[in-house]
């Protein structure tokens, strides 16, 4: 048993010595960041340690490249998701120079919302109004209007979706 453990550790050490620089180049080519590539290459060999029971000299090279490819894919997925989130928060927010300008924008949006609300069917209009402007919950509205809670939630879902679409078109 100890001989198998020593053999797998020897395979990992030899692989690190032989393939580390190639793995750094492989990763660096895909992500265009050499420092990150070095960190990710370290992660490849750390992950390789998790599979030391099944390693053999003939297949370790292919195993290392498979792990590298998966790590690069995960890295790029996280990178683009973080970039998408940061662009959402920082690029799309309108920049207001003062409080009065913000009040004008808010008032304009409020008027657009009121205008769209007038086009809703009567029950949906009541439910949206009670939620948005009176602050009532779905249960309170259901009790007040004598309808089911799920009916209120369904009307709210549709009303909010229509309102969001309308306001996005206006803005």
pLDDT tens digits, 102-158: 788 788 888 888 898 899 999 999 999 998 889 888 899 999 999 998 999 989 999
Q: Quickly state the pLDDT bin for 92 (edges 50, 70, 90).
A: low
Rounded to 5 degrees, what are φ and ψ at 110? -60, -45
Write out pLDDT tens, residues 25-50. Answer: 999 999 998 999 999 999 998 998 88
First CA to last CA distance, the chain: 69
What's the rounded Cα separation, in Å, for the pair 167 and 80? 28
> Token digits for 39?
């960190």
Q: Quickly state the pLDDT bin for 19 (edges 50, 70, 90).
A: very high
| Domain range list for the chain | 1-87, 101-170
CATH of domain 1-87: 1.10.1740
> Domain 101-170 adopts which CATH fold?
Arc Repressor Mutant, subunit A (1.10.10)
Q: Would the pTM count as exceeding 0.75?
A: no
């Amino acid at each position: 048993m100890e001989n198998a453990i020593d053999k797998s550790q020897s395979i990992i050490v030899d692989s690190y010595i032989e393939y580390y620089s190639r793995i750094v180049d492989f990763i660096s080519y895909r992500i265009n960041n050499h420092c990150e590539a070095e960190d990710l290459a370290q992660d490849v060999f750390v992950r390789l340690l998790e599979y030391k029971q099944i390693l053999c000299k003939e297949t370790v090279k292919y195993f290392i490249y498979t792990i590298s490819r998966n790590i690069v894919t995960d890295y790029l997925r996280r990178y683009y998701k973080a970039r998408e989130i940061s662009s959402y928060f920082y690029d799309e927010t309108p920049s207001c120079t003062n409080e009065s300008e913000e009040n004008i924008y808010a008032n304009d949006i409020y008027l657009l919302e009121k205008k769209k609300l007038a086009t809703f069917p009567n029950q949906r209009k009541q439910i949206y109004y009670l939620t948005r402007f009176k602050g009532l919950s779905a249960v309170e509205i259901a009790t007040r209007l004598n309808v089911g809670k799920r009916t209120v939630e369904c009307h709210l879902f549709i009303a909010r979706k229509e309102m969001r679409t309308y306001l996005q078109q206006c803005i």
